[in-house]
Amino acid sequence: MAIKLIVPVNGPITQLFGENPERYKQWGFPGHNGVDYGIPNGTPVGAAVAGTVAAVAFENGGYGNYVKLSHMDGSRPYFTYYAHLASAAVSPGQKVKAGITVGFSNNTGASTGPHLHFGVKIEGQNPAYKGYVDPMPLFTAGGEVDPTDTTSTDQFTDAVKLPNLSFEVLSDFLNVRNGPGVEFSIVGQLLKGAKITGKRLQSKSVWIEYEPGKWCAVAFNGIVNLKVK
């Protein structure tokens, strides 16, 4: 079995899984435990997959108003979280189909601006994150390359060779992924000041491969991560 999700809202991603370790220490996580979407207050939030409403609750200083859905992947239970809502549109115990509105977005709880926090928790997985996993590889919409296929980087046929161009990392933390896009899995992090030599460039979204299967974004959401040395 495999978990297959649809994106809960259409909006720009403002924070990825694993980012900003300093901020998430206070909740006992090594980094952000979900994906954030910057969307206007009142945006309908859809269920990422069919399931049952496990909780409609308020967490002060955390999720604010949130909805938790429970799901089964074969015999393995997992949960999806929709946080910082204005209000829920579902009740505990209710069965929901994928895409049905579970609530309306806002800025409640520990939130610095209108957004949806979306999280996925699989019992027994990723202990450092208390079961939370990166949702990005689980999304099926958009026809991305299978992010679990790390056997070859040659699937990125639009990547071009670079003439050993050197870069320095400008951001405090830069996620390294196993493909040129945020839909790929995080396989490491680079710290500010690190120097890498770009081997290939995926020009469409401007990602650099510096070792086989290790990619990072030159810029993301308007923030420049890498400068050419």
Q: Closest separation between CB of residue 217 and Zn ion, Å?
A: 19
Q: What residues pair up with 85 in beta bridges, in sequence order?
A: 65, 105
Q: Closest separation between CB of residue 14 and Zn ion, Å?
A: 8
CB-based burial, 34-72: b 16+ in 10 Å, e otherwise: bbbbbbeeebebbbbbebebbebeeeeebbbbbbbbebe
Q: Closest separation between CB of residue 15 and Zn ion, Å?
A: 6
In three-state secondary structure terms, 74 is coil
Residue 30 amino acid letter: P
Nearer to Zn ion, 20 or 94 (CB): 20
Q: Closest separation between CB of residue 84 and Zn ion, Å?
A: 8
Nearer to Zn ion, 107 or 166 (CB): 107
Nearer to Zn ion, 34 or 135 (CB): 34
Start-to-end C-alpha separation, the chain: 46
Gap between the Cα atoms of 124 and 145, Å rounded: 27
Nearer to Zn ion, 24 or 156 (CB): 24
Nearer to Zn ion, 68 or 117 (CB): 117
CB burial class (10 A; 0-12, 13-18, 19+) of residue 168? middle
Q: Closest separation between CB of residue 98 and Zn ion, Å?
A: 21
Nearer to Zn ion, 17 or 167 (CB): 17
Gap between the Cα atoms of 117 and 63, Å rounded: 8
Residue 38 amino acid letter: G
Q: Closest separation between CB of residue 9 and Zn ion, Å?
A: 13
Q: Closest separation between CB of residue 83 and Zn ion, Å?
A: 7
Task: Output the residue with the shortest Cβ distance to Zn ion.
Answer: 117
Nearer to Zn ion, 81 or 215 (CB): 81
Pick the closest to residue 21 from 136, 172, 134, 219 (CA basis).
Answer: 172
Gap between the Cα atoms of 189 and 216, Å rounded: 9
Interface ranges with Zn ion (CB under 5 A)? 34, 36, 117
